[in-house]
Amino acid sequence: MKSSFHSGSDSWPLIAVILSVILVIGGAFALHYTKGKAITIQDISSASKISGLNFTHQEKQMMLSNLEENLASYQKMRQIHLENSVSPALIFNPLPADFDFKKLQADQRFIYDEPVNVEVPETEEALAFYPVTDLAWLIKNRRISSEYLTRIYLDRLKKYGPKLHCVVTLTEELALKQARQADEELASGIYRGPLHGIPYGLKDLLAVKGYPTTWGSPIYKNQSLEEEATVYKKLTQAGAVLVAKLSMGELAWGDVWFGGLTRNPWDPNQGSSGSSAGSASATAAGLVGFAIGTETWGSIVSPSTRCGVSGLRPTFGRVSRYGAMALSWSMDKVGPMARSVEDLALIFQAIIGPDGKDCTVFDLPFSYDGQSDLKKVRVGYYKKSFDEARRHKDKYLAVLDTLSSMGIDLVEIELPEIDPEMISFILNVEAAAAFDELTRTNQDELMVRQGRDAWPNIFRQARFVPAVEYIQANRLRTLLIEQLASKLKEIDVYLDTPWGPSLLLTNLTGQPTVVVPCGFDDRGHPLGITFISNLFEEGQALRLAKAYQQVTGFHLKHPDLSLLDQVKDSPQPEEEDD
């Protein structure tokens, strides 16, 4: 059978044009389908399975055009660059419905035990481990100068910082300038308070103009921010001297950063824990007078426990986070780390309060009386954590015995029945949003830590958490807030082990926590205990923790830094104590 198609050579150009047009149109259609209309019924089925949902075929079909419109909106949104500092319009509020502001506003005492006399020690090594209270007395009474003390800490940072991997940037020029100014002011009769002339370190997620703010990641290694963190400004106003920006776990997780693993001065073959890794390590090693850390879920409590220092994670909304890297807008908190509880109170007083830039900060007074009657403090403890501690149970129970011997009546308390672990993905979702561009541009592959339990994987999997579930989790969080407030109505302070359920619970609800050393394990590693108080009642937890410190004296012990010469090449983080 002969074909009716005319195959003369004069017709080939026309055929080629037609074929080309068909190919172009087909290619464009395919491209449009794969890029603009890539969503199929099967895609919805798979996504529904991930979310634990079930829809009929008709319901899926009905969704298609809406989902395509949503995707187009997402793509438009992604054309707008969002700085890490831009917070969402949704603001977390930790206050239960019946919160009593009048009680807080009526009590505005601040009383601490200022030393009557402090001797200058024979060695600079001993001076380096003095608490802020003693250093403040020496400077105020001009027994030592701020510049002298600053040079001691700068020398120690240079000597031990590289071995501990706890220093990112030494701010030597700035420190000496601030120290000299502190000395000149004091000579002129100007005294700014207990932090006047005291050298300290900042966790390297807080911005200081003229210096890198690396967030612990090679991605931001050369980042220099123009704004200055409010915490740094407040400490500068208080006369404190910045000597270093200290290491942190990359993007505020753990103790591993682009400079290596930050080490525990008590055992340099062990990590310092994190993410306020350098802040804890440097404070414990006597490289700074005190340090500033941050916590989202354990980042002050954990390294303070590991390194045997005192730490305060304040109420959410106490300290401005302006100029700090955002990880979780509804959970991030800034707090001090030092060698004694009373030091924490002095530092905390200097950094609290609104700045007009962080709209989550409350304008409420901080009341602290380091001499108040302990018998008026109503104390509870979460018995289950003490009974079920897998390790060091005897050390934790000894804390209860010590408090009882001090005449304190301990009451068993219960915590909310809702398991906070089920909504812990709130942090993952907010962190994934904070670093969304790293995921979409594959820069997450440049991060130091990779693997299942590292940020890159967490950021990716968080993209599959439904928005509805994120909102529902926060509604359950409201119930947790109300339930915990109800259970603490008759309690001022309660105790839990550092790794007990209160760690996540109170980071979600906003209650403050003080952590202090409570002994040492068989290998000489510090152990810690946490004192948890009601919202904005940091003073109560600090008062009880101070009394415990005075009786036990664990905070007065210092690590043997000669051990730094015996470190292994590749120390490995250990499992957290339970």
By annotation, the residues acting in catalysis are 203, 275, 299
User: β-strand 110-111 against 368-369: which pairing, if any?
Assistant: parallel
- Alpha carbons 276 and 324: distance in angstroms, whole number: 13
Question: For residues 379 and 494, is the Cβ–Cβ distance under 8 A?
Answer: yes
- Alpha carbons 302 and 574: distance in angstroms, whole number: 12
Token digits for 195? 């932090």
Burial 82-113 (b: 16+ CB within 10 A, else e): eebbeeeeeebebbbeeeeeeebeeeeeeebe
Any idea which residue has 């009882």 for tokens? 404
Strand partners, 311: 337, 515
Please name the residue ranges forming H helices in 249-360: 277-284, 301-307, 341-351
DSSP-assigned letter for residue 51: H
Phi, psi of 269 (to 5 degrees): -90, 5
- Alpha carbons 573 and 551: distance in angstroms, whole number: 32
Write down how long the chain is: 578
Residue 8: CB partners within 8 Å, gap ≥ 6? none
- C-alpha distances in angstroms, 475 versus 53, 470, 481, 482, 539? 20, 9, 10, 11, 29
Any idea which residue has 């941050």 for tokens? 294
Three-state DSSP at 247 gives coil
With residues binned 3-state (H G I as helix, E B as strand, rest as coil), the percentages for the chain, rounded to 5, are: 45, 15, 40
CA contacts within 13 A on the Cβ side of 293:
40
- C-alpha distances in angstroms, 155 versus 151, 159, 171, 286? 6, 6, 12, 11
Question: For residues 224 and 213, is the Cβ–Cβ distance under 8 A?
Answer: yes
- Alpha carbons 55 and 53: distance in angstroms, whole number: 7
Angle at alpha carbon of residue 495, lines to 490 and 496, rounded to 5°: 130
Token digits for 213? 């703010």
**Cis peptide bond N-terminal to 275, omega within 30:** yes
Three-state DSSP at 435 gives coil
> How many Å is the Cα radius of gyration of the chain?
28
What is the identity of the amino acid at 150?
T
Dihedral angle sign, alpha carbons of residues 10, 13, 16, 22: negative
Residue 523: CB partners within 8 Å, gap ≥ 6? 267
